[in-house]
């Protein structure tokens, strides 16, 4: 399974405010301090509390940021002066958790597989899988077989 995209956080979740009124379909938002906007792509939260909307920042041009609306939550109208910040979101938590779970499952499957690796003999145009084992006398061995 493909890992979910994860976005860098910002120390202390600095806030800025939007300087224009926006409706639910606007994708360009003007901010007071663009230095407080993370490098795209990244996430930001408009508003606070249970009414907030998480947007995905796609581009920064001076004080104008282009966003994907309603990345989490419902896109809605926001007045100038609304707080926008790179907060830790449910998406961040879920992406981290799911990626760790996927990697653990892959690692477990990899460890359980007797011959998890592959190589190609280009001269003979054959593919082999291989792995390692310890022989009865305690010496490491490479084991392989042709993939048919």
Task: Please determine, for residue 74, whether its predicted confidence score (pLDDT) is greater than 80.
Answer: yes
Measured in whole angstroms, the distance separating CA 122 from the mean position of its chain's CA atoms is: 36
For residue 36, give the CATH number of its domain: 2.40.30
Does residue 139 sit within a domain? yes
Does residue 6 sit within a domain? no
Does 62 lie in the same domain as 32?
A: yes
Cis peptide preceding 41, ω within 30 of 0? yes
Percent of the chain with pLDDT over 90: 70
Does 33 lie in the same domain as 73?
A: yes
Does 90 lie in the same domain as 20?
A: yes
Q: Report the pLDDT value the prediction gives residue 96, as an integer from 0 to 100.
A: 96
Domain extent at residue 76: 15-95
Does 69 lie in the same domain as 123?
A: no
Task: Please determine, for residue 89, whether its predicted confidence score (pLDDT) is greater than 90.
Answer: yes
Q: Report the pLDDT value the prediction gives residue 100, as an integer from 0 to 100.
A: 94
Q: Report the pLDDT value the prediction gives residue 143, as an integer from 0 to 100.
A: 84
Range with the lowest mean pLDDT among 7-11, 14-18, 19-23, 118-122? 118-122
3-state helix, strand, coil split of the chain in percent (to 5) is 20, 40, 40
Task: Please determine, for residue 52, whether its predicted confidence score (pLDDT) is greater than 90.
Answer: yes
Dihedral over alpha carbons 99, 10, 42, 26 (to 10 degrees): 140
Answer whether 0.85 is exceeded by the pTM: no
CA nearest to 76, candidates 44, 54, 49: 54
Does 91 lie in the same domain as 30?
A: yes
């Amino acid at each position: 399974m493909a890992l979910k995209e994860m976005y860098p956080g910002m120390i202390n979740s600095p806030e800025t405010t939007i300087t224009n009124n926006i409706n639910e379909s606007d994708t360009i938002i003007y901010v007071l301090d663009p230095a407080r906007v993370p490098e795209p792509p990244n996430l930001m939260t408009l508003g606070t509390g249970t009414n907030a909307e998480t947007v995905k920042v796609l581009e920064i041009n001076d004080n104008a940021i282009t966003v994907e609306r309603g990345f989490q939550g419902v896109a809605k109208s926001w007045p100038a002066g609304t707080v926008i910040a790179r907060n830790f979101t449910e998406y961040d938590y879920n992406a981290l958790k799911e990626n760790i779970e996927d990697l653990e499952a892959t690692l477990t499957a990899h460890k359980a597989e007797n011959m998890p690796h592959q190589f190609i003999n280009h001269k003979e145009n054959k593919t082999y899988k291989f792995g390692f084992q310890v022989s009865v006398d305690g010496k490491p061995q490479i084991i392989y077989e042709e993939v048919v």
